[in-house]
Chains A and B, each alone.
Chain A
Amino acid sequence: MKKTIQIPLGSQHISLLEPIRFKFECENEKIIGVDADVGFVHRGVELACTRSFEFKQVGYVVARVCGLCAITHSLSYTLAVEKLLGYVANDRIKYLRMLMVELDRIHSHMLCLAHTAENAGFEALFMQIMGDRELVMEVQEAISGNRVQFDYISIGGVNRDLTSELVDLVRKNLTTLSEKMEILTGLFDNNWSLSLKYKGVGVLTLEDAYTYNALGPLARASGLATDVRAETSDFPYEALGYTMMLESTGDIHARNFVRLREIVNSIAICRNIVDNLPMGEIQEKVKGKPKGEEIVRIEAPRGELFYLVRGNGTNTLERVRIKTPTFSGIPAMMEVFKGSQYADAPAILASFDPCMSCTAK
């Protein structure tokens, strides 16, 4: 007789934000094998970019790949095209783009923390974090003019300038947020019932992280020092107070802590940006048509986002390839599930912060 049972999780499940299906091979309560299916929200974005839209419009198309990291997608694409056109943005544009990406990282990490808390059974904490997240959303809405689809970055610059009132709003809201972050960090560190759900659960060892090519907060929680912000020189992150956050245990608690500390770090970066904003034009004319091939890597909230853009000197691109952090992280994620309890699966899944719309595009 067969000794194991198969339990599916998804594609529709109460703990999932987006459709993904896991097939768990369980021995009693213990998971011994995992099979994942991610392609439920395929929309054919890559093909649309090369068929229906001109290269100047594609920036707005790829922004719609994902609702949470919209700005990272449009930034990666814009950078790739700007490299093909031989254009280098001035410091003001770079700083404004960085500001939006870091604000995006803060609110995305907060969503993940809230969701992890909810999946571990703490609805009140979920509400509290989502309430605090509004502070960042307000800033983003005021800067870009929309809450979710920012449409802030275009080829040759950014679409709106940062006025002095906006700078005041950024300072005010980030100060309030950093006070709240202290309370949250204390809560995640000291709360006894949270530690039962988080500490020692869903461990990814450093060796596994290296073997299965983990990335983003997942890798940094295991102690693997990988961050595109430190590896590339497209943006002056080092000068603006970026530090890599590493933990060593590799469990859910460590992942939460990497995110909490990255939020604090991002708040510091945002403050440095608005304090030291250089003068300059925010939108410059870029002429020419993309010819050749270019790759760009950007650190999205979930890890490395990879873009390949190939043009043939016409208005329509030949190829746009998007490799999202969740897609690259699937092998490592599957490894974490093995050996853990089935009841912990939703919390572990939430701690990866998977983004299915990105992955299936």
Chain B
Amino acid sequence: MFKSMVEAFKNLFKPVRTINYPAQEIILPSGYRGLIEYDKEACIFCDKCEKVCPPGAILFYQHEEGEKEYRYNPWLCIYCGECVRACPKPQEAIWQSETKQQSAVKEDGANEGWFVWEEACKKSREAYAAAKKERKPKMKSEEPLCVS
């Protein structure tokens, strides 16, 4: 009884084990898996990151002139780093930073905005493929003439 009372009294003056969160910052360990970052200059647009991404957080928008535009949803991303491992130029074109993503607010459009983008990317691909197909048959019709 006496022993446990002494123990309880001692505990009053021990430092607390929890972190006083908003006032005190949580220190993340080095190597924390954070946001995926991208450099357009180094990218070769092979689309490998888009194909391997488990949640589909990376998309490429296809412009009519043939250029591609990188689009990334940081709230859909699971930060697994699979895109970095799939990239032929890892750490140059795409790499994983140690920044933690903040929570989304309504203005960010984490869901609705992304659905619009997804649809737009899909349509841009289809339109580009259709345009390419239209150009191809002409080429083919010319080819046999050359051969004969």
Chain A residues at the B interface, C-beta cutoff of 8 Å? 53, 56-57, 60-61, 131, 134, 138, 141-142, 144-146, 149, 151, 154, 159-160, 283
* Assembly CA distance A144 to B79 (angstroms): 11
* Cβ B54 vs Cβ A60 within 8 A: yes
* Cβ A61 vs Cβ B31 within 8 A: no
Chain A residues with Cβ below 8 Å from B82 are 57, 60, 154
* Cβ A283 vs Cβ B85 within 8 A: yes
A-contacting residues, B40-95, CB 8 Å: 52, 54, 78-82, 85
* Assembly CA distance A134 to B82 (angstroms): 28
* Assembly CA distance A160 to B17 (angstroms): 29
* Cβ B78 vs Cβ A142 within 8 A: no
Chain A residues with Cβ below 8 Å from B78 are 60, 149, 151
Chain A residues with Cβ below 8 Å from B52 are 56-57
Q: What residue of chain B has the Cβ atom nearest to residue A159's Cβ?
A: B81
CB A66 to nearest CB in B, in angstroms, measures 16
Chain B residues with Cβ below 8 Å from A57 are 52, 54, 82
Q: What residue of chain B has the Cβ atom nearest to residue A142's Cβ?
A: B29
* Cβ A61 vs Cβ B54 within 8 A: yes
Of the candidates A142, A145, A159, the one having the most CB atoms from chain B within 10 angstroms of its own CB is A145
Chain B residues at the A interface, C-beta cutoff of 8 Å? 17, 29-33, 52, 54, 78-82, 85
* Cβ A145 vs Cβ B54 within 8 A: no
* Cβ B29 vs Cβ A141 within 8 A: yes
Dominant SS at the B interface? loop
Chain A residues with Cβ below 8 Å from B85 are 154, 159, 283
* Assembly CA distance A142 to B32 (angstroms): 7
* Cβ A146 vs Cβ B54 within 8 A: no
CB B13 to nearest CB in A, in angstroms, measures 17
* Cβ B81 vs Cβ A151 within 8 A: yes
CB B93 to nearest CB in A, in angstroms, measures 19
Chain A residues with Cβ below 8 Å from B54 are 53, 57, 60-61
* Cβ A60 vs Cβ B29 within 8 A: no
* Assembly CA distance A131 to B17 (angstroms): 7
Q: List 17 A-B contacts (CB under 8 A).
A: A57-B52, A57-B82, A60-B78, A60-B82, A141-B32, A142-B30, A144-B33, A145-B29, A145-B31, A145-B79, A146-B32, A146-B79, A149-B78, A151-B78, A151-B81, A154-B82, A159-B85
What 9 additional pairs, Cβ within 8 angstroms, besides A57-B54, A60-B54, A60-B82? A53-B54, A57-B52, A138-B29, A142-B29, A142-B31, A144-B33, A145-B31, A151-B78, A154-B85
Chain B residues with Cβ below 8 Å from A160 are 31
